[in-house]
Structure 1
């Protein structure tokens, strides 16, 4: 009888352990996948941004209305940038694989990058050209926009991250 009780106790413990593992797996599968991040570094200061709320197409290109709204949004964090400094932008490997680009006061890249990290001159981020006159000026503040490219050529971005940059003399 003692052997039967011990055996039954082991069975209960095994069943309880199996139940705990199953519950843990169910809990994990119910969690959302972590959002991709964009990281912007100026000097020794780094800001890590999640996709800007309302600017995640969940794998699909943003529609025109959403795209216009997202372009005009501001970032949550602000980095101070001095003239001549380098601004480093990094993205998660899944974003790099899809392709991504950066816009400061104007677009900075001719084609989407598939690298996880790029460096930009701060002066280029704040430079703005007047399309009517062709004259170039510099802004004091700009929202740095990082965008994941659409899956096909000509499609709009799939997701956007925003970080504010403020120029300091």
Structure 2
């Protein structure tokens, strides 16, 4: 093997080692995915990671304020008359307990189940404070100490 071949091989080895190191560095900087919540109506579903989540730890007031700012960019699903809204949550959310909020107000009791259903009649009704054509459905992980928030828009179909 010539000296030139040896130099080229060393450069390739250094380049490969550098690329592997850079790749590992990028992967270590990635955030872990948050637990997922899903809303299903009929045959349509939308899933989302949390608007705010601190690896299952209590969120402070500042985090919750930032969460509200991000609430404009949430997934929307259409709800037609006589349809049922089905909410499914990751087991991590269920273990901590969760509450459904509609337009920011508690709509269910604390649950440790991974699944909950709400009939159409509960939405888009003035008597329940859910009139209009669009409502926000939020899932709050943790009843007293909020550990995460997921949000969806329900559009009257």
What TM-score, normalized by structure 2, do the two folds share?
0.68
Cα shift readout 1:122-152 (whole Å, capped 9, x = no counterpart) = 22133454xxxxxx565132101111115xx
1:74–1:164 contact (8 Å) kept in structure 2: no
From 98, 113, 123, give the equivalent of 1:100.
Answer: 98
- The answer as to 2:83 corresponding to 1:85 is yes
Q: Is the 8 A contact 1:108 1:125 kept in 2?
A: no
**CA deviation string 1:57-112 (max 9, x = no partner):** 51223427835973994452221111221111111111111111111254221223
Number of residue pairs matched by the alignment? 150
Q: Which residue of 2 aligns with 1:119?
A: 117
Residue of structure 2 in register with 1:38 after alignment: 37
Residue number in structure 2 paired with 1:145: 138
Q: Which runs of 4 or more aligned residues in structure 1 lie more than 3 Å from their structure 2 counterparts after TM superposition?
A: 18-30, 71-75, 125-129
5+ unaligned residues in a row in structure 2: which ranges?
1-16
In the alignment, structure 1 segments of 5+ residues that lack a partner are 1-17, 130-135
TM-score, normalised by the number of residues in structure 1: 0.64
CA contact (8 A) 1:101 1:149 kept: yes
Match of 1:47 in 2: 46
Moved more, 71-80 or 32-41: 71-80
State how far apart, in whole Å, the 2-side matches of 1:114 and 1:67 are: 27
**Which of the two has greater helix per residue?**
2
Bigger radius of gyration: 1
For 1:111 and 1:143, the matched residues in 2 are separated by 18
